[in-house]
Structure 1
């Protein structure tokens, strides 16, 4: 526990909880509703429930779970297109494990593999590159998925494939960005948010300034946070301090990891390999302008959309959610997972109806893992 135990210290946590309670009571004298703080990152959602922070904080604070799980916001149509690529003769389709059980229209990647498609779980795009070298007669496709956290590794893999001339390697690019959906949420007149806990891992790459518009244009505070319990509690307190003092700023609680300007090597790789799509579809949010990345023309030889004539390179192919699925409402903070009529009944980790129940960062998975299974049984 070296270097981690200090961020899980019970004494420090109790002191932060007491300070949060004082601030929440101070703010509560001038309002009837609790302070709504959205944690953007799915990793933060799981930390909140793992450590029971939702139950420990003052009742004047309510956590709202945001769309910060890249697997969860992926539309069903993208899974269908993955399966279509994987079924092509001679293709080895590679993906992170999180995406294997996400349901498409009729089946998941895991089910498609059971039916005969050569779909393999990898831990990084470098694993997919290794397969391309090992099987030069096969087309190896990597499912490029994730926010800015995983975007650089895919970019570096494409650059390496170009240097080596690995023409049998390509990426089905579905990388997306964090600031744009937050902007869309803030423009929603039905969304009531008082502040944000900003994503730690994404911010390691992009820094803190891409969130400046939140404070500047919408007068909402945002604090970039780490993932340990005292990280999150301190970040909540920092948000409350800003609200109590009438400030709206972007602050960095996770300064031990997150540089203000981001990671220049990662940002350079992203700029070299990708360009913005005009728009991209998000589960629960619809099309959001400039929120997705595509591979630049100079790397078109490694673009699976171009190679296989599929995805946004051809046409948008929306796939509506299953009837009654509340994933969109949960991801936009309109509904708690346990309020979904299918939670623990028609949707469980063994038989998921939506992506939020199977992703390691999904809000429904967090609720299920840390007490939701008992609630559903009751």
Structure 2
């Protein structure tokens, strides 16, 4: 098997797809789509789906590929891609989102580390593959007698930039056994693109994208979370005064389920608009709960109007689209959006309220300034 990185970024049309996106880095390759294109389709085309990489993009030979399954299971497995595709298949429509989505709003408060994501580090697709629970069952895992504190650790083929280790993460057993959690080999009915994890990735709906690793090499059932630095030391939600370089594995909140969030995709920041009715459109998302309401303001939150919602009832782990027409008189306007979930919870008003040095979980009202002439 070849898992050497493709440094050319040109194989299989990758360079052309990169040209469609807003690129934050080429090595590692990190990019997001323009927001109007993100809002154009309820399911995001693979070429328009955000890319989050922590290192190289490994080039993997599908014919030689094997997924190793081990740990606290009845028998170890070494599965080919063909064998994985021959297992019972499921398709789940789910939104994946980077924990750093909308980090740019926190950077406006004070410096933060990480790529300056706008609101495009998110996307929704149909993911196809066997349920992780079925793969574990094939390895003889007895879910009826499973300990509640077990975890499933993922090890991957990509090497983290500037480090001597490969990417890894884990999820609690309860989420691993949930019917929505897949090992996906297809996205929107097509094989995964290289930048999205070909030939196999985990898809853990409702959780931060970091828990849906790409380019899977192995999965291991164990009695503790992964000790990979990505799991043990990174992706922790910390108080604003805490230096993330000086914390241990027990510090902070491990980012798993994503919080309530929303964003304005149209009009764009800085747009010049004619006076009168203006179509304002965007998305709202909440990790494992329903988006119940979306409010939109044309005057920076002094007054609000309720937006119309669009979603698929059979896709509880997918985003909600919203839209509204606002009557905007001439002048400068700050548009704002806030969502409410089924528990009656809403978003903080300002990015100052949740600012942290890593810029994670930026969920304040999304604001867009426009000029109406």
Superposition TM-score tier, normalisation by shorter sequence: under 0.3
- Which structure: greater helix fraction? 1
TM (normalized to structure 2)? 0.27
- Which structure: greater strand fraction? 2
- Greater relative contact order: 1 or 2 (C-alpha under 8 angstroms, separation 6 or more)? 1
TM (normalized to structure 1)? 0.27
